[in-house]
Amino acid sequence: MQSSLTQINPRNEEEEKKIILREYRALLRALKLSLKKGDKRLLRRAFEISVDAHKDMRRKSGEPYILHPLAVARIVVEEIGLGVTSAICALLHDTVEDTEITLEDIEQEFGVAYMKIIDGLTKISNVVDLKADTTVQAENFRKILLTLADDPRVILIKLADRLHNMRTLDSMSREKQLKISSETTYIYSPLAHRLGLYEIKSELEDLALKFTQPEVYTEIAKGLKETKRDRTRYINEFIKPIKEELTAGGFDFELYGRPKAIHSIWNKMRTKHVSFEEVFDLFAIRVILHSKPEKEKEDCWKVYSIVTNFYRPSPDRLRDWISVPKSNGYEALHTTVMGPGGRWVEVQIRTSRMNEIAEKGLAAHWKYKEGGTSQQESKLDAWLHHLRDMLSNPDTDTLDFLQDFKLDLFTEEIYIYTPKGDMRVLPKSATALDFAFDIHSELGARCIGAKVNYRLVPISHQLASGDQVEIITSSKQKPSEDWLSFVTTAKAKSRIKYYLKEEKRKIGDDGKAILQRKMEHLGLTISPYNLNELCVFYKKPSLLDLYYAVAVDSVDLRELKQLTIIGDKLIQPIKESKPELKNTPDEIKPVKPAKGAELIIFGESSDKIKYKLAQCCQPIPGDDVFGFVTTGEGLKIHRTDCPNAAQLLANYGHRVVKTKWAKNKEISFLSGVRITGLDDVGVIQKITHIISGELKMNMRSLSIDSKDGIFEGTIMVYVHDREELDGLCQELGSLKGITKVERLEAHEE
Ligand code: MN
């Protein structure tokens, strides 16, 4: 974390010393039970070194910098459940990065084990490097994952660091807030999820939402507050009979209702297209049993039986993660039952041991490793092993790999059996081919089909939990491009890509020879500069792609005549610039971004810059936006809540330009709204009256689908800004019979 250097105000110095000492004592208290002889001295030493090293530094909020490492150390101990070694490393985590302290100092003072952890932490702290290019950043993510495979404590401390930074993000600039939040959703919360740190993952996502979409966040938080009374009443009514029955049965338990995280409510609203009021499962009921180790499973099922005696369960919503825990170690019984008033309620049943694993994930695992079942341990180890395996493959394209790997982090799991009865864990929607690659890359590459439960299926067949799968191979088989369209695991994807690339390279060799002959013929030097210009000219992302295209004849080498040669250098032909905005019909004056001043770009240059509005989120003035410098198409404007924003901001931070709308009412932008309502004869007429009559807006299209008395319509309309669009939504919403009006995301037309 960077911080500004300012002088300590002498007036507050005493006061600040007190606060710092208080925080340190709180850390000591948190560690108390686990402190062994000598630990305390070591911790004290780390504290002193860190205080001294950071003594002239302050955080953006103005507080002494040392409060940050102290807070991180407390999170590491109290919320992740790690011990004194990790606390010491947390105290020192920013020293090598930001102060005079060196790794050698750490090694001398604390030993090589500590030095290695600090080294890992220092290496991954540079992910937030605005100047780094894409490959460097992807490489950094890879480093994060490598350290994870090496010593998981590094990434756990890093997560604590990130959590504290997110908790104190208020004092950062808007730009930093967006960047750090995006990075958090992009890599850190999926990692927290994968490591089983559900509490931390949830908080990270809520905080990220708070900073990327403050309006959404406040609206939901407000909604939760307003409905709290009703919810409490309902929860009490729901748990009363269960409580009585459990007490009568002699159980030692806790039973409570818990509101769901704001981001998960938001996800539901977004994916199901419902309003806050329409999200029913705003909370879950949790039963925590303090059972003896040998009684755990039995007790949980007894409670399940009691709950379902009172409330009817939804048959397809029972999840038994006790018999087969998730691979991140999560154990619990989940069921959804019909509560009073016909509302579906999710009930989670687990023991206090399982609960600790659910909250502290990986770290809690180690704690129970000695006494616990070895099956879970080996599963987690197997995952780490698998990770190490993939990362050590030098041919994997890092950026690609990360995209695929990230998907793996979040998906639900299914359990598949080999013909011998061994179990493999695969992500949901995995295919027979994924399974083959999971077992062995060669098996995947030669796979021509499979037998699922003795029935013959194609390689693209999606597997279901409990399937027994036998892979059928042929020595003639070769991976092909279309395989990528149905496999879902990162391993299968990266292996297939690797095979295809190899294949391409072989073919590309021919193309290389052809191209070189042609260049020599034209008197062109075969220099890296010229080759790069040729890639640009033929719009190929890499030389390999260019060679391949030449070999398979998909580019016309005669077009080379359009290029100018000056000296031994190639010069690109000048192209006419085309209108930048698509979808602009003739009757509307085309938008000429180069001329208009509707966007102000804050950057080195105050000149008007050409831009395009991203098709994925179709921003209009008034939306919170950012500019993104693309490789071929100039600047693209995205909404900060665009589905692609997180990925772009996190991976290509250096290409992001701060962008703001200027006040300009002359240009219109195409935007869409979706309306739902009761079918009524006059409805179309009423809608068009509002748009064209009252509001005098320019409508491009209106399409209505009606079914069983309900209609759903999409209206495409030209508006000047967000305000106008919101006004339109309001007007339409007030029409009789209209139940919902919402802005359309792109590509839904
Ligand atoms: Mn830090």
Domain with 25 in it: what CATH number?
A: 1.10.3210.10
Q: Read off the pLDDT band of 430 (50, 70, 90).
A: very high
Task: Label residue 602 by pLDDT band (50, 70, 90).
Answer: very low
Angle between helices 134-150 and 374-391 (to 10 degrees): 150
Q: 405: CA distance to ligand 1 center in Å?
A: 26
Q: Is the pLDDT of residue 202 over 50?
A: yes
Tally Cβ neighbours within 10 Å of residue 275: 11
Residue 246 lies in a domain: yes
Q: How far apart are CA 124 and CA 128, in angstroms?
A: 9
Indicate which residue of 98, 151, 377, 745 is catalytic: 98
Answer for the pair 598, 713: CB distance below 8 angstroms, yes or no.
Answer: no
How many domains is the chain built from? 5
pLDDT for res 161:
94
Q: Are both 92 and 13 inside the same structural domain?
A: yes
34 lies in the same domain as 113? yes
Answer whether 0.75 is exceeded by the pTM.
Answer: no
* Span from the CA of 90 to the centroid of ligand 1 (angstroms): 8
**553: containing domain:** 498-571
Residues 703 and 688 in one domain: yes
Task: Please give the Cα distance from 211 to 598 (Å, whole number).
Answer: 25
Helix or strand or coil: residue 144? helix
d(CA 274, CA 397): 39
Domain boundary among 571, 592, 622: 571
Q: What is the mean pLDDT of the chain?
A: 80
Mean pLDDT of 264-276: 87
Residue 726 forms part of a structural domain:
yes
Residue at 426 is within a domain: no
Q: Bridge-partner residues for 347, per DSSP? A: 285, 335
Cα of 161 vs centre of ligand 1, distance in Å, is 5
Q: 98 CA distance to ligand 1 centroid (A)?
A: 10
Q: Are residues 648 and 728 in the same domain?
A: no
If asked whether residues 708 and 742 sit together in one domain, one would say: yes
Domain identity same for 136 and 173: yes
Interatomic CA distance for residues 416 and 418, integer angstroms: 7
pLDDT at 703 exceeding the cut of 60: yes
Q: Are 631 and 726 found together in one domain?
A: no
Least confident of 368-377, 435-444, 662-671: 368-377
Q: For residue 444, tell me if it sits in a domain.
A: no
**pLDDT above 70 coverage of the chain, percent:** 79
**Residues 61 and 119 reside in one and the same domain:** yes
Active site residue 98: yes
Cα distance from N-terminal residue to C-terminal residue, the chain:
44
Spacing, Cα 93 to ligand 1 middle (Å): 6
Could you tell me if 505 and 605 lie in one domain? no
Task: From the candidates 52, 56, 78, 97, give the one annotated as an active-site residue.
Answer: 97
* Domain co-membership, 81 together with 138: yes
In a domain, 593, yes or no: yes
**Of 343, 360, 377, which closes a domain?**
360
DSSP character string of 229-278: HHHHHHHHHHHHHHHHHHHHTT--EEEEEEEPPHHHHHHHHHHHT--GGG
Is 396 inside any structural domain?
no
389 lies in a domain? no
Question: Is residue 13 domain-shared with residue 138, that is, in the same domain?
Answer: yes
How far is ligand 1, taken at its centre, from the CA of residue 69, in Å? 6
User: 413-417 and 423-427 as β-strands: parallel, antiparallel, unpaired?
Assistant: antiparallel
* 598 & 565 share domain: no
Where does a domain end: 360, 392, 427?
360
**Among the ranges 101-105, 243-247, 416-420, 636-640, which has the highest mean pLDDT value?**
243-247
Spacing, Cα 52 to ligand 1 middle (Å):
16
In a domain, 42, yes or no: yes
Ligand 1 centroid from CA 8, angstroms: 20
Helices in 311-448 by DSSP H: which ranges?
352-360, 362-369, 374-391, 398-410, 432-439, 441-445
Contact 628, 635 (CB under 8 A): yes
